[in-house]
Structure 1
């Protein structure tokens, strides 16, 4: 018999910034209670050179985005200086459907998305043809170096946002895990894992709740600090992670 409410009685904590209602509504449909306690927050990095960098960006062959946060910060800069997608006659690459959708929402066509939504797969699959091609990687301050160092074309970087810890959420997670009978905690980035390791794990450890992860890089970050990973989807999105979590709960 199929369990239509595999998350019944489960409190599901999302540790990433809420960008869509979809995964939260899905938790409710599956019988659970979703809670948003982001362990990180992002802020646009503003510089006196922003307008100059926007003008320079128009001269590249490719723009590369690996997160919705980078798109959001880039959008803020465009709006501040009265620019839009029509000012950019170039190609755009995105890691992930959600990032691609955010770009399309501000008028950009996305020319390349890797099969797996991860930077290491991106550098394996992204191989544009042409001589002396130049790309601009629009990124956050904690982005890794793979894209900048492992591609065949010349890649410059522009850091447009900062990732900062959200301490109040850490305190709330500690309280919730202590109070609730059954909790699942979902991680979408190594940055969230770092904050949890420093601020939450010393209080409650890693064993009294179910852990879900998006992506093998986040999974690796969890395992490196000694945490188990109970659910990880093949497609790296939050709705798929919720479905994978529900499947694992439904089997128990």
Structure 2
């Protein structure tokens, strides 16, 4: 095996959304692998019954907690449409992960807090042990995101408002594309970066009357891994750091071994 190209000869399916998959695919190809982009989730801005109430209170929050790149982008679009410059908000910003922080910084927003392990669960631990304690937090997020951060803050006696700024949906046109790969390509690994992608993958397999492919599965983060294992997918790769770079590194290490 070429030590510089540990993924040489490997065929890998990338299920990340369109517009977000290119850097991941690039890293797979740099390592010698062949990547197939089949986005199993997509995103769009949506209206929330809380929109008016949240916008009226924007200047009363002491923290805004952004949990993903999509959360950052759609939050900025929402407040922008309302004519608000977020740089004028008195709130500090927390971000789950360095990638999310980088997106906020591109908008000119200073990020004051990032949990060490880049996960919502790690932020919850910081809240529970008193190392991170907002008094009134706004949590912009997607329609399928967990409520764990807001619930933890509220249990502590502080205020937290969850705000749905985008929805996750399944791009139906990708169903035939995935089934074609399953049936006609010798895929070595399927990769997932969200529980939603796992659910849509299993849905397509079941609707196509196909068995779970005899392949390796890679996940980012314990939440996505748990979802995959719930459906009987044997997860071979799950890096401790929840980034594309770490995922490709661990995939490379797995096939080197």
Taking structure 2 as the reference length, the TM-score comes to 0.89
Q: Deviations over 1:64-89 (max 9, x none)?
A: 11111111111212332333222211
What SS does the aligned partner of 2:141 have? strand
Moved more, 189-198 or 38-47: 38-47
Give 5+ residue unaligned stretches, structure 2.
Answer: none
Moved more, 242-251 or 19-28: 19-28
- From 230, 242, 245, the counterpart of 1:224: 230
Partner of 2:170: 165
Taking structure 1 as the reference length, the TM-score comes to 0.90
**How far apart, CA to CA, are the structure 2 residues paired with 1:158 and 1:139?**
6
Moved more, 64-73 or 10-19: 10-19
Given that residues 13 and 35 in structure 2 are in contact (C-alpha distance below 8 angstroms), is that contact kept between their aligned partners in structure 1? Answer: yes
Given that residues 67 and 95 in structure 1 are in contact (C-alpha distance below 8 angstroms), is that contact kept between their aligned partners in structure 2? Answer: yes
Partner of 2:136: 134
**How far apart, CA to CA, are the structure 2 residues paired with 1:198 and 1:21?**
25
Partner of 1:188: 193
Give 5+ residue unaligned stretches, structure 1.
Answer: none
**In the TM superposition, what are the counterparts of 1:28-39 in structure 2 within 5 Å?**
28-39=29-40
Given that residues 177 and 209 in structure 1 are in contact (C-alpha distance below 8 angstroms), is that contact kept between their aligned partners in structure 2? Answer: no
What SS does the aligned partner of 2:124 have? helix
**How far apart, CA to CA, are the structure 1 residues paired with 2:249 and 2:46?**
35
**In the TM superposition, what are the counterparts of 1:35-46 in structure 2 within 5 Å?**
35-46=36-47
- From 138, 145, 153, the counterpart of 1:143: 145
Partner of 1:91: 92
Q: CA deviation at 1:169?
A: 2.0
Given that residues 70 and 160 in structure 1 are in contact (C-alpha distance below 8 angstroms), is that contact kept between their aligned partners in structure 2? Answer: yes
**How far apart, CA to CA, are the structure 2 residues paired with 1:31 and 1:230?**
19
Q: CA deviation at 1:143?
A: 1.2
Q: CA deviation at 1:250?
A: 1.6
Partner of 2:242: 236
Partner of 2:125: 124
Given that residues 50 and 163 in structure 2 are in contact (C-alpha distance below 8 angstroms), is that contact kept between their aligned partners in structure 1? Answer: no
Q: Deviations over 1:73-107 (max 9, x none)?
A: 11212332333222211111111111111111111
**Aligned-pair Cα RMSD in Å:** 2.2
Q: CA deviation at 1:205?
A: 2.8
**How far apart, CA to CA, are the structure 1 residues paired with 2:152 and 2:72?**
22
**How far apart, CA to CA, are the structure 1 residues paired with 2:178 and 2:32?**
20
**How far apart, CA to CA, are the structure 1 residues paired with 2:194 and 2:242?**
11
Q: CA deviation at 1:14?
A: 1.4
Partner of 1:23: 24
Given that residues 62 and 90 in structure 1 are in contact (C-alpha distance below 8 angstroms), is that contact kept between their aligned partners in structure 2? Answer: yes
Moved more, 82-91 or 184-193: 82-91
